[in-house]
């Protein structure tokens, strides 16, 4: 993914007003009509337009910053300083997912479920829905789905129910859930065949019997 801040000549900590100002200057400079249809200028203008349309939108900028790893630049104008925001919940779930993946599967499933289930309580879900930050909510859903890979079916069902409430009727969630259930079903049906134990044990049993018979014959010969 391209660095949209660099394209506009800005840093990730810039204000929305700076984004608008930078776009206006660059758009005039590289507009095709100002450059006699120059192909390079046209491509540059398109690049500038994409960068601007992403960064000027609050939710899209949050998502872009998240993907790029600019964790300290998340913003949400609907909340007061110090108050929770959709992005703050996203970063909490993201940290949980990172810890789970770094554990290499050696996790306390009960503890993981308890943390996620507590995070997705009714109050939080209601708050996230009211904030209407659909993109951030979708990212939260994706992160929780990843964590659910390590949980049993009962725990997954509970969390999936909470995520369905968070989706608030979003048809894309149903598609995600169907795909996730399909993956889970495939994983459950996949079994690794075990070698027959009887085949491995027969040679060992035969060897022991032969050894015992040899000892018995040896004792008989000594007695004669």
Q: What is the predicted pLDDT for the residue at 2? A: 87
pLDDT band at 144 (very low <50, low <70, confident <90, very high): very high
Fold of 4-56: Helix Hairpins (1.10.287)
pLDDT score for 184: 65
State pLDDT tens for residues 30-81.
988 888 878 899 999 999 999 998 888 776 777 677 667 665 444 554 444 4
- What pLDDT, on the 0 to 100 scale, is given for residue 207? 73
Per-residue confidence (pLDDT) for residue 7, from 0 to 100: 95
Q: How many CB atoms lie within 10 A of CB 144?
A: 21
Report the pLDDT averaged over residues 116-141.
89
Domain segments of the chain as ranges: 4-56, 86-189
Q: Give the pLDDT score at 218.
A: 64
* pLDDT at position 204: 60
Q: What is the pLDDT of residue 72?
A: 47
pLDDT of residue 75: 52
Residue partners of 34: CB distance under 8 A and separation at least 6: 28, 41
pLDDT tens for 145-195 read 999 988 999 999 999 999 999 998 888 787 877 877 776 666 555 443 444
Answering whether pTM is above 0.75, one says: no
Confidence of residue 198 (pLDDT cuts 50, 70, 90): very low
Contact 100, 115 (CB under 8 A): no
The answer to whether residue 211 scores a pLDDT higher than 80 is no
Q: How confident is the model at residue 29 (pLDDT cuts 50, 70, 90)?
A: very high
pLDDT band at 138; cut points 50, 70, 90: confident
**CA 20 to CA 217: how far, in whole Å?**
100
* Structure confidence at residue 201 (pLDDT): 45
pLDDT of residue 219: 64
pLDDT of residue 81: 45
């Amino acid at each position: 993914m391209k660095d949209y801040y660099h394209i506009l000549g800005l840093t990730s900590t810039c204000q929305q007003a700076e984004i608008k100002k930078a776009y206006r200057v660059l758009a005039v400079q590289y507009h095709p009509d100002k450059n006699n249809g120059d192909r390079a200028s046209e491509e540059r203008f398109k690049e500038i337009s994409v960068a601007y349309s992403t960064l000027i939108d609050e939710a899209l900028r949050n998502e872009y910053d998240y993907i790029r790893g600019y964790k300290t630049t998340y913003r949400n104008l609907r909340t007061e300083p110090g108050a929770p925001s959709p992005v703050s919940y996203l970063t909490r779930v993201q940290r949980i997912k990172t810890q789970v993946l770094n554990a290499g599967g050696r996790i306390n499933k009960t503890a993981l479920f308890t943390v996620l289930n507590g995070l997705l309580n009714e109050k939080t879900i209601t708050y996230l829905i009211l904030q209407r930050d659909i993109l951030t909510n979708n990212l939260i859903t994706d992160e929780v789905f990843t964590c659910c890979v390590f949980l049993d079916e009962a725990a997954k069902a509970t969390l999936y129910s909470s995520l369905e409430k968070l989706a608030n009727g979003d048809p894309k969630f149903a598609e995600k859930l169907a795909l996730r259930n399909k993956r889970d079903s495939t994983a459950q049906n996949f079994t690794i065949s075990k070698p027959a134990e009887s085949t491995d044990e027969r040679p060992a049993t035969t060897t022991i019997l032969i050894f015992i018979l040899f000892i018995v014959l040896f004792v008989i010969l000594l007695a004669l």
